[in-house]
Amino acid sequence: MEKIKVLVWNENIHEKKSESIRKIYPNGIHHAIASGLEKYDCFDIKTATLDMPSCGLDEETLNNTDVLIWWSHIGHSKIPDEIAERVKQRVLDGMGFIVLHSSHLCKPFVKLMGTCCRSKWRENDEKERIWVIEPSHPIAHNLPEYIELENEETYGERFEIPTPDELVFISWFSGGEVFRSGACWSRGLGKIFYFRPGHEAYPTYYRDDIRQVIANAVCWAKPSGGPRPTLGNVKVPYEKVALADHSDEYHP
Ligand code: ZN
């Protein structure tokens, strides 16, 4: 079976700037996420970071990626618009896109959603309980009824996203908020999954249950291999019908 080509992309700024974050993720969040996928032999995993040429998101790399996993926070604006547009176009063309935690404000996700994608948030070491609300969904495979994270950053509704095609998880926080924490959309030929946990100050991406969600999401988001739709003017009908002469009419 052909392996799913996964690219784990991370801005990798907190880990370089902050001693306390570096202690949690000494090789960067991208390595923690990538190592969580390594136990599955169905993935061919690569990583890339903001400081690479073309932000590690050149055309050849993206064309060789089935599923892009993205983590960013303070570096959203450092992605040039043309690179964000390139990522968006690859998603429309079929690449899966997994958007983690604060990446809900990264340029390609905001472009794909068409809304501002903001929410409310608080850093207060509160408990997060992530409820699986669609147990039959492929992203819920092998999970318990809920995942409990003793300390996480709190996010709260309203989350300014378009209504998800499918909602797999809802989070509750001990401070009182709730949040749509696992949401799916399709855009063009591509599938998009937003997954909320993973604040840089907590070791969330080392947990088996969180890694299971990400692995499930990669399998779900891989290109479907379905037919590419025909778009535009189809001059020859699919059935035997007489051809009308509209050659002097203007059709944009
Ligand atoms: Zn955060």
Q: What is the pLDDT of residue 2?
A: 92
**The pLDDT of residue 246 is above 80:** no
Query: Could you tell me the distance, in angstroms and rounded to a whole number, from the CA of residue 205 to the centre of ligand 1?
Result: 13
Per-residue model confidence as pLDDT tens digits over 22-64: 999 999 999 999 999 999 999 999 999 999 999 999 999 999 9
Query: Could you tell me the distance, in angstroms and rounded to a whole number, from the CA of residue 47 to the centre of ligand 1?
Result: 21
Query: Could you tell me the distance, in angstroms and rounded to a whole number, from the CA of residue 200 to the centre of ligand 1?
Result: 6
Three-class secondary structure of residue 4 per DSSP: strand
**The pLDDT of residue 247 is above 80:** no
**The pLDDT of residue 249 is above 70:** no
Query: Could you tell me the distance, in angstroms and rounded to a whole number, from the CA of residue 101 to the centre of ligand 1?
Result: 6
Superfamily of domain 4-115+179-221: Class I glutamine amidotransferase (GATase) domain (3.40.50.880)
Question: How far is residue 16 from each of residues 19, 104, 105, 158, 202, measured CA to CA in Å?
Answer: 8, 22, 21, 32, 16
Query: Could you tell me the distance, in angstroms and rounded to a whole number, from the CA of residue 82 to the centre of ligand 1?
Result: 26
Work out the pLDDT band at 161, boundaries 50, 70, 90: very high
With a threshold of 0.75, does the pTM exceed it?
yes
Work out the pLDDT band at 149, boundaries 50, 70, 90: very high
**The pLDDT of residue 175 is above 90:** yes
Pairing outcome for strands 67-71 and 4-10: parallel
Q: What is the pLDDT of residue 140?
A: 98
* Sequence ranges of the domains in the chain: 4-115+179-221
What whole-number percentage of the chain has pLDDT above 70? 98
Query: Could you tell me the distance, in angstroms and rounded to a whole number, from the CA of residue 122 to the centre of ligand 1?
Result: 9
Work out the pLDDT band at 252, boundaries 50, 70, 90: low
Q: What is the pLDDT of residue 251?
A: 63
Query: Could you tell me the distance, in angstroms and rounded to a whole number, from the CA of residue 123 to the centre of ligand 1?
Result: 8
Query: Could you tell me the distance, in angstroms and rounded to a whole number, from the CA of residue 75 to the centre of ligand 1?
Result: 13
**The pLDDT of residue 248 is above 80:** no
What whole-number percentage of the chain has pLDDT above 90? 94
Query: Could you tell me the distance, in angstroms and rounded to a whole number, from the CA of residue 121 to the centre of ligand 1?
Result: 8
The answer for residues whose C-beta is within 8 angstroms of residue 191's C-beta and 6 or more apart is 96, 97, 184, 185, 220, 221, 224
Query: Could you tell me the distance, in angstroms and rounded to a whole number, from the CA of residue 242 to the centre of ligand 1?
Result: 61
Backbone angles phi, psi at 112, to 5 degrees: -70, -30
**The pLDDT of residue 100 is above 90:** yes
Distance CA 58, CA 53 (A): 8
Query: Could you tell me the distance, in angstroms and rounded to a whole number, from the CA of residue 226 to the centre of ligand 1?
Result: 36
